[in-house]
Structure 1
Amino acid sequence: MSSRELASLHQRWTAYQDLPELTNHWYWRPGWRADRQFYTWHLTFEHQAELHHLVTDVQRQLNLPGLDLVPLDGLHLTMQGLGFTDEVTNSDIEAVVAETRRRCASLPPLELSLGPVDPDAEGIGMLVRPWDRIEHLRATIRDAIGAVWQTVPEAAGGFRPHVTIAYSGSQAPTAPICDRLNAFRHQPPARVTIRQATLIALRREHRSYRWTTVATVPLGE
């Protein structure tokens, strides 16, 4: 584990143990509402049996008040947003996808590990590593967007790769959750191979994130 990843995990665990209660994740961010969808690039985790087994094992212990468990088909790693679907034209989507496909053709698939558990006030995640490979893919996607638009949405900095397995659904106390999570702090991670980046139309639905796949871009095509 790199020093950045180790430092982040230690810092977040320390902060979580000092946290008296959760922060409800499901407040409406600017521009969001129930009938609106958002174009964003994600990594998704279909057919990843090793990861699904680990997440299922951890989630069995997290069926606690205040936590909304993420279904296995809802696991995702947020990479880069584009904009709300009612504000981005189909021609721009086609151009961004084509440029992303061209640039990602030379990138190898991502070999990643997920784990151990990595909590914060709004949810329980899995630490993802190595960060540098994900950051390189994100930079490639941002460069592709920049070839189509003059301004790339969202900041380049402040990105922390993570995969959430449970969102905080209320201001419940953290102590019972900490007690459960301690058993998983040193559990071996799951290995995954990511062979594509996915452009989705994301929506919020019944205290979960669901999406429609718009395009997939192979890595190392």
Structure 2
Amino acid sequence: MSFADLPPGEHAERFHDHWWWRPGWRVGREFFAWHITFDGAGELHRLVAAYQQALKAHGLGGMRFIPSQWLHLTMQGIGFVDEVRADDLERILESARRVLSESEPLTLTFRHAFVADEAIVLPPLEEASVIELRRRLRQAIGSVWGSDNVPEAEDKFRPHASVAYFEEDGTAAPYVAAVESISPQPARLTIKEASLIALNRDHRMYEWRTCATAPLSEA
């Protein structure tokens, strides 16, 4: 059961290795996507570090902690870099900038971590506002490729930032106990843009280069 299928407030019972090679992926291949990235998001970095420390204190392994520089909230995929035409990407970017300029910045609050099927995750309390932002990004892609050709399912999305990715299969209970052993102060931050990135998973981590940004309205 994926995190999108878990009822709110519940943990998975078992987890699986996140790093199996999904169709189309291989070492050296990059993928264009829209993400929210968290460079300079000190409160979120503090919260993630608190949960990582709790997991360490419980002596748990089988996972890879996400460094601050690679923290992100996955939004919407576009396609593999070698398959997306440069002019299409530019048109998608222009459309996204136009659409997002009409959207106000998001204030997101993160607090409670959950054990999901392949990762330990932090969903924002304001899930609906992130879903709406993703809808607008999908609208931008659809304006170029047509609404029926937007990648990924619209309804299989539940926003979250990840604390760690699992690298093996196992039972969730000890990890649930670890994340529930602390009650850290929430992290609150303002999102002012979406990032168009080219990411890879060559080193069992999502690493990327930022290609462009689409700012939200300053009004």
TM-score, L = length of structure 1: 0.89
Partners of 1:9 and 1:118 within 8 A in 2: no
2:59 is aligned with 1:66: no
Tell me which residue corresponds to 1:210: 207
> In 2, Cα distance between the equivalents of 1:129 and 1:181?
17
Structure 1 residue corresponding to 2:21, chosen from 21, 28, 31: 28
Partners of 2:54 and 2:181 within 8 A in 1: no
2:115 partner amino acid: P
Structure 1, unaligned runs of 5 or more? none
2:164 is aligned with 1:166: yes
Tell me which residue corresponds to 1:38: 31
Tell me which residue corresponds to 1:200: 197
> In 2, Cα distance between the equivalents of 1:106 and 1:90?
25
Tell me which residue corresponds to 2:76: 80
2:80 partner amino acid: F
Partners of 2:115 and 2:172 within 8 A in 1: no
2:110 is aligned with 1:114: yes
Tell me which residue corresponds to 1:154: 152
2:176 is aligned with 1:178: yes
Partners of 2:114 and 2:176 within 8 A in 1: no
Partners of 2:50 and 2:184 within 8 A in 1: no
1:173 deviation in Å?
A: 4.1
1:132 partner amino acid: A
Aligned residues: 209
2:51 is aligned with 1:54: no
1:65 deviation in Å?
A: 1.2
1:9 deviation in Å?
A: 3.0
Structure 2, unaligned runs of 5 or more? none
1:182 deviation in Å?
A: 1.7
Partners of 1:112 and 1:130 within 8 A in 2: yes
> In 2, Cα distance between the equivalents of 1:189 and 1:166?
18
**C-alpha deviations, 1:121-147, integer Å up to 9, x for none?**
211011212111111111111111111
> In 1, Cα distance between the equivalents of 2:201 and 2:170?
22
Tell me which residue corresponds to 1:9: 8
1:25 deviation in Å?
A: 0.6
1:188 deviation in Å?
A: 3.4
- Name the SS for the 2:97 alignment partner: helix
1:213 partner amino acid: T
Percent identity, please: 41
> In 1, Cα distance between the equivalents of 2:124 and 2:71?
13
**C-alpha deviations, 1:41-87, integer Å up to 9, x for none?**
00011111111111111111223211100011111111111000000
Tell me which residue corresponds to 1:145: 141
Partners of 2:72 and 2:162 within 8 A in 1: yes
Partners of 1:198 and 1:217 within 8 A in 2: yes
2:97 is aligned with 1:97: no
Tell me which residue corresponds to 2:128: 132
- Name the SS for the 1:80 alignment partner: strand
